[in-house]
């Protein structure tokens, strides 16, 4: 069980697309920083529909996207740290 | 001793990622770590032969990829999908390596102790 972290939006960098090529069903994808912006696009919502996705809450709130991205699990800083411990390893793309 | 996987996903020369990744790999190898390199996405362009980065004033770090065996780095892989995306033939690559499918690479990432992405 790997925690994959993506901090770039799909418009900035190919990190998201590349990570998805190697992500396994039991893994978790954590989007943070500008990485959360990709989920505002229908294309990426569809692509990520059967991936375990979560967002860093502070980055969502900072960008005023709480309602738009309300359907995605949001992690507090403490939960984020806990995720890094409960997963076998973290890969930051 | 740790099994460290280093993923190269950026093209050379436009950024220093490739050079930094190779420096990290060689350094880790000198500290007896078990290193594997994985070229993915645009990182496969590090494998294009006969590059002359001096033409744009860039450092030719690619030559050092040929020194990997000297550092006991034998596990060198490239993503089959990425090679296809960039229409690169395995036979035309600058260094010998094993082509792996995305699923096989995902398995490699699971087995590694740590994974670093450059």
pLDDT at residue B2, as a whole number = 94
What percentage of chain A carries pLDDT values higher than 70?
A: 100
Contacts by residues B83-87 (CB-CB < 8 Å, ≥ 24 positions apart): B83/B44, B85/B41, B86/B42, B86/B44, B86/B45
Question: Is A80:A59 a contact under the CB 8 Å cutoff?
Answer: no
Sequence ranges of the domains in chain A: 2-92
Report the CATH number at residue B27: 3.40.1260.10
- pTM score: 0.96
Q: What does the alpha-carbon distance between residue A30 and residue A92 come to, in Å, rounded to a whole number?
A: 9
Chain B residue with Cα closest to A17:
B41
Q: Does B40 touch chain A (CB under 8 A)?
A: yes
Please tell me the distance in Å from A13's CA to the nearest CA on chain B: 10
Instruction: Please state, in angstroms and as integers, the Cα–Cα distance from residue B54 to each residue in A25, B51, B62, B76, following that order.
Output: 44, 9, 11, 25
Question: What is the ipTM score, two decimals?
Answer: 0.94
B43 → chain A, closest CA residue? A18
Residue in A7, A8, A21 to test binding to B, most B beta-carbons within 10 Å: A21
Counting the structural domains of chain B, the total is: 1
What pLDDT was estimated at residue B116? Answer: 98
Residue A8: the pLDDT is 98
Tell me, what's the pLDDT at B113? 97
Which tens digits make up the pLDDT trace of B15-42? 999 999 999 999 999 999 999 999 999 9
Q: What average pLDDT does the segment B3-14 reach?
A: 97
pLDDT band (50, 70, 90) for residue B10: very high
For B53-91, the pLDDT digits (tens) are 999 999 899 999 999 999 999 999 999 999 999 999 999
Query: Under CATH, which architecture does the A2-92 domain have?
Result: 3-Layer(aba) Sandwich (3.40)
CB pairs under 8 A between A and B: 34
Query: Which residues on chain A place their C-beta less than 8 Å from a C-beta of chain B?
Result: 2, 14-15, 17-18, 21-24, 88-89, 91-93
CA B70 to chain centre: 15
Per-residue pLDDT, A75? 98
| Chain A CB contacts of B114 below 8 Å | 89
The whole domain housing B64 covers 3-50+58-117
């Amino acid at each position: 069980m790997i925690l994959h972290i993506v901090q770039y939006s799909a418009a900035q960098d190919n990190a998201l697309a590349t990570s998805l090529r190697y992500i396994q069903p039991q893994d978790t994808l954590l989007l943070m920083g500008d990485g959360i912006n990709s989920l505002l696009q229908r294309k990426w919502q569809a692509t990520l529909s059967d991936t375990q996705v979560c967002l860093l809450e502070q980055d969502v709130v900072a960008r005023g996207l709480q309602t738009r991205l309300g359907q995605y699990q949001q992690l507090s800083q403490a939960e984020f740290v806990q995720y890094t411990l409960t997963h076998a390893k973290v890969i930051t793309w | 001793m740790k099994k460290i996987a280093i993923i190269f996903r950026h093209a050379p020369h436009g950024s220093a990622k490739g050079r930094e990744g190779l420096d990290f790999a060689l350094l880790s190898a000198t500290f007896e770590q078990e290193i594997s390199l994985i070229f993915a996405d645009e990182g496969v362009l590090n494998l294009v032969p006969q590059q002359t980065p001096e033409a744009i004033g860039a450092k030719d770090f690619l030559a050092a990829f040929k020194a990997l065996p000297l550092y006991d780095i034998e596990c060198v892989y490239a993503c089959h999908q990425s090679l296809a995306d960039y229409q690169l033939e395995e036979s035309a690559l600058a260094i010998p390596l094993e082509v792996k499918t995305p699923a096989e690479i995902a398995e490699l990432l699971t087995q590694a102790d740590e994974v670093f992405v450059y």
